[in-house]
Amino acid sequence: MKVLVVGGGGREHALVWKIAQSPLVDRIFCAPGNAGIAREADVVDIGAEDIKALVAFARDNEIGLTVAGPEAPLVAGIVDAFEKEGFKIFGPRQHAAALEGSKAYSKMLMKSAGIPTARFKIFNELSAAKDYAEAVDAPLVVKASGLAAGKGVYVCSTVKEAHEAIDAVMKERIFGSAGDSVVIEECLRGEEASILAFMDGHAIFTMESSQDHKRAFDGDSGPNTGGMGAYSPAPIVTERITRQVERDILVPVAYAANRDGCPYRGILYAGIMITHEGAKVLEFNVRFGDPETQPVLMRMKTDIVEPIMACVEGDLADIDILWDDRASVCVVMAAGGYPGKYESGKEITGIEEAEALGDVKVFHAGTADAQGTLVTDGGRVLGVTAVGETIEAAKARAYEAVEKIHFQDAHYRTDIADKAIGR
């Protein structure tokens, strides 16, 4: 079977790497891919959101399965377009993808389905949003409703900060149309974790837990990013928490989707806050997380194509997934200045030496080939991922690998997985 992976980041590199291990797959294409992916698949010069061209490519190349990596093409309806032409594709249809495409829609669905989440209100008008923020007082969270590449969330400790966040989203329009409306919600207290699950419209298979690190700098300081690292498993996600998430969050989403006539098929990512009252939803994503995918897939022993095809064909109940008992840690190496302005084109060295350590895989997130030289080509550049018998061992090996890799102005957090180790 020929497989097409859509996207070009670290998540897609991890998917390509894992799919390539399947005996069911003869050839892998990735559109648009990156320099690292090009070493493991045939990269195709088609943008992830050019749905018409992707459908034509699938037709011309007899693609047996397409896996949509990023959220943007899912929200734009890539699954509907592929299914209309009779192609198998992994991911939710456009209506269901609104769970990520619109935070306002997502919060309203949670409210109607009784899913535990923060109290909230939705605003389409700037002055009304500011008045509400002043009335409820801080701390609170301001979110751009639309897609903002993981950066449209502001945790505000004062009303002044909340007003500045509302201005940035709705007045300055730094996220474009994603800021047409904002969600203002209470600030939940606790520890965050990520739960990813395969869903086929009826059955649900919850994957091993993980924890992302959104803030740019050590100690969860600095601005939000797309993610500066992750580890799996997350000790705070106990068996009790997992069962609660399945019962109170995942099942109600599946029920609501079926009720709306659009069964949820694909990956559902629940970003949760574990509070003294249990798990509450911070956000839903409709695809594999990035960088959570990297450590989670490093631990997956089962052929990933099996559950993916089972979701597409509605046979997930017949699938079991086995996991490596070891832990995995991913450290993101980013370009200087990220998540603000940064420069690209910096030469990267040391990846082969890092992987030669063993139990290490360097996933490319933002890289390019400049006439035979590997260079930076994005804000998040590499996801250096390692496994170890314990989280401490996995962290030590990951940072040992990071020290082998060099590019100008590289920056990364030094405390990935410390929360787990502290437990």
pLDDT in tens, 331-352: 999 999 999 999 999 999 999 9
Task: Give the Å distances, CA to CA, from 79 to 55, 65, 83, 281.
Answer: 10, 11, 6, 25
Neighbours of 361 (CB within 10 A): 20
- The span from the CA of 152 to the CA of 251, in Å, is 27
Decide if 59 contacts 282 (C-beta within 8 A).
Answer: no
- The span from the CA of 306 to the CA of 118, in Å, is 36
Decide if 57 contacts 45 (C-beta within 8 A).
Answer: no
Q: What mean pLDDT do residues 48-70 have?
A: 98
Decide if 333 contacts 357 (C-beta within 8 A).
Answer: no
CB-hemisphere CA count at 13 Å for 68? Answer: 35
Phi-psi region of 337 (alpha: psi -120 to 50; beta: other; left: phi over 0): left
Q: What mean pLDDT do residues 306-311 have?
A: 98
The pLDDT value recorded for residue 127 is 94
Q: What mean pLDDT do residues 355-378 have?
A: 97
Residue 423 reports pLDDT greater than 80? no
- How far does Cα 100 stand from its chain's mean position? 11
The pLDDT value recorded for residue 3 is 98
- pLDDT tens by residue, 242-267: 999 999 999 999 999 999 889 999 99
Q: What mean pLDDT do residues 207-217 have?
A: 96
Banded pLDDT at 138 (limits 50, 70, 90): confident
Residue 363 reports pLDDT greater than 80? yes
pTM of the complete model? 0.94
Q: What sections of 167-287 are H helices per DSSP?
A: 239-245, 251-259
Decide if 356 contacts 315 (C-beta within 8 A).
Answer: no
- How far does Cα 368 stand from its chain's mean position? 22
Banded pLDDT at 224 (limits 50, 70, 90): confident
Q: Report the candidate in 21, 23, 26 with the shortest Cα–Cα distance to residue 4.
A: 26
Q: Which residues of 91-114 are buried (b: 16+ CB within 10 A; e: fewer)?
A: bbbbbbbbbbbbbbbbbebbeebe
Residue 77 reports pLDDT greater than 80? yes
- The span from the CA of 391 to the CA of 298, in Å, is 13
Residue type, 41: A
Sheet with 153-156, edge to edge strand ranges: 120-123, 182-186, 140-144, 153-156
Residue 227 reports pLDDT greater than 80? yes
Banded pLDDT at 150 (limits 50, 70, 90): confident
Q: What element of type H or E holds 160? A: helix 159-166
Kindly list the structural domains of the chain, giving each domain's residue range(s) and its CATH number in brackets, ordered by start.
Answer: 2-91 (3.40.50.20), 125-180 (3.30.1490.20), 191-318 (3.30.470.20), 327-422 (3.90.600.10)
The pLDDT value recorded for residue 326 is 98
**Gyration radius (Cα) of the chain, Å:** 20
Work out the angle between the directed axes of helices 126-136 and 159-166 (0-180°, nearest 10): 160
Residue 287 reports pLDDT greater than 80? yes
Q: What mean pLDDT do residues 138-144 have?
A: 93
Tokens standing for residue 39: 């070493």
Residue type, 341: K
Q: What mean pLDDT do residues 122-150 have?
A: 91
Residue 137 reports pLDDT greater than 80? yes
- How far does Cα 79 stand from its chain's mean position? 18
The pLDDT value recorded for residue 148 is 84
Decide if 37 contacts 43 (C-beta within 8 A).
Answer: yes
- The span from the CA of 43 to the CA of 251, in Å, is 37
Backbone angles phi, psi at 382, to 5 degrees: -135, 150
Decide if 330 contacts 384 (C-beta within 8 A).
Answer: yes
Counting beta carbons within 10 angstroms of the beta carbon of residue 341, is it exposed (0 to 12), middle (13 to 18) or buried (19 or more)?
exposed
- The span from the CA of 288 to the CA of 19, in Å, is 14
Share the mean pLDDT of the chain. Answer: 96
CB-hemisphere CA count at 13 Å for 346? Answer: 23
